[in-house]
Structure 1
Amino acid sequence: MLAAALLVLAVASSAAACQTTVGDATPTAAGLAWTEIALPQGVQPVTLAAAGDAILIGALAAERPRPRLFLARGDSLTQVVVEPSSPYAFVARWLSIAVHDDRVVAVAGARGGAHANVRWTVWQGALGPRPRLVEQPQPFGVFGGWGAGDLTGAAFAGEDPVVVGAWASARTGNDVSLWRVAGDRWDRQDSTGTPLGSSPEALNGARSVTALAPAGLALVGSVTDLATGTVRSVPALWTAPAPAGPWTLVRLPSSQPIAEAHSARCDESGCLVVGVDGDVLTVWQTSGSTATRQEIPSLTVGDHQAAPPPVRLGGRTCIVAPGVLLERVGSGWRSRPGPAGAPVAAAALGDTIYLVTTVGDTLSRLWSARP
């Protein structure tokens, strides 16, 4: 356990008033003062997850074992025991971490082998008096080998931990695939012929996964249409009341040839989905099979950048974009200054938002702010 308090670096973002409001809302609050949170020397933040009264920080150290976990509570930082077993687990980078009550499921990966493919590792654990995350070593063919695609992430469908990724279809291309726990092994479900499966007319790909209460899942990504003779990528949302389905596909409205959904947050009213239409940040609200595009301030998203899932902050919904925090107020959205860098992860605890940003390929930073 790390006893020290979080080291905070005051940053010069005691920002001015709100920049933009779209819709019926009226600006009422000043800009944010972002504070950088320093992790132990040589450790960089990678991803975040809300965990009860704490924020779980997935991080990467310079020395082995590289994957690290910390719990942030107030001004204290507690290191979580991480126990790798297989060779690649000692150098893996977190892809996705999900929390349900005090349980944790995570996916990490490291490139290796003759073709430098990602070697995936899966982990489970609990956050109790002695928080601990342990790798579950799997045979190579579970997540690798012939037919393997990339993994997307992990989530809980109610009490059921699930891993989502891609696998070669029995029909065309790759299907969106799910793995579920079967004893000490992860067992892949066959998606061919379901709405998750690809076809000669349309190729499916998922970018992220999130829980859908009470025991379902929501996946977002894109469908690449091939049947019209012109290749077009359409943003997509897949939902199911349980990992076994039945799955429903909702195509989200877009205007550009290349568009994709990056992330989502879902509740009983539907899903708020974030992505891009061309290079423009786009937000969709769904209810059942209906999807409407939200009117938000115009923001450009750079190549290879992805929007983190929306968060609930002090009773309001917020979306993080490069240099900007979008906050829904009434029926409109207002824009407030964000910290420098490209956002890669966001989480909220009460009235405090936590954010990981990257600058270039080698530097990542952890921030917090209270609107």
Structure 2
Amino acid sequence: MSSSDAGVERPWRPQRQRSANERLLWERLRSDGAASRAQLARETGLSKPTVSSALAALEQAGLVREAGTHAPGRGRTAVLYAPDPTAGYALGVDIGRSRLRVALADLDGTIVARCDVRNQARTANGVADLAVSAARGLVADCAVDPRKVTGAVVGTPGVYDGDARRVRYARQLPGWGRPGLFDRIRDGLGLPVAVQNDANLAALGEYAYGVGAGSRLFVHVMIGTGLGMGIVNEGRLFTGAHGGAGEIGFLPWAGRRAPEPGPDRDSEPDGMEDAVSAQAVVRAARAHGMAGPLTAKDVFDAARAGNAAAARAVEQEGERLAHTVAAVSAVLDPDLVVLGGGIGHSADLLLRTVRRTLRTLTPLRPKVAAGGLGEDAVLLGAVATALGSARDLAFEGR
């Protein structure tokens, strides 16, 4: 404050105070459920006339609606108020190499519609256009007013560079690093679009809806065609100085040997992603004698059926995952590490080996568990992230 401002009384702004009261009541109803005017007055300290006026404004704006009545043992029947979840909607989009998933949620976080489509696009522009057509079709099919859809969050492999407006390090999606792709999605949807790393969103999804709830420092390791990690510290995503925190696929693989001369000189993994991802499981299975067309799922299915070569490949995957967890634990000291992604879906075959190996590697042993959301972790994380903005926009636009 400058010397000229000293002693100057600021003008009282009743409109700002009314807005603050309305937000206070709306957030109370959102967090704790329906309540009467008298109950809201007791809990917030606002006067009953102030509560009545604020509720009337919220109801007129479509943010609050009557939700029944409550008849106490004595006294008059009270009207209960609750937030109207249809006041706004948010889109979550999960873009992967093989599938694309879209979900539409109301302000309560309820998924009102979703679709899963195969990603058969041959170009990066084709992937972007597929995301737009799937999202637009979803909104049209569920008869939601498109004007109430206020934004979208897109999950993608790699790290989004907001300055360059492009994704870096998305090796699983050829051409995906070209600038302008997310502008193309934004323009196609006609909505604000935020972009986030898929492993980060999976971590938020598991924290909000899955096994990570209540963890102080929670880590989600996503193992599929690539390897990534999301970090949630006391409910907030940690991404580092440049968005690259959790890109553990770039860690050097400690077990790499000097390459031998010959046709297999490049078979040894360079980094953790090469050592742990789905393709590593297939390579290990072939090295142990499995033949024919193989996917990581084939290997895990064979291990469940008692195939010895597949079981050895799965055990190697578990041992290498334990090295990943040990490295993460030394840096972050999480209380919970969750295994997710395509490989994480087979955590029932991996956890015993991971835990046993971890005991031989480090005294830092966080709880290691399987994810609870399966293939929906990224999508639900995108929805949870989009809802924060959707609620703000719904209130501000009242």
TM-score by length of 2: 0.26
User: Which of these two proteins has the greater Rg computed from alpha carbons?
Assistant: 2
More helix by share: 2
TM-score by length of 1: 0.27
More strand by share: 1
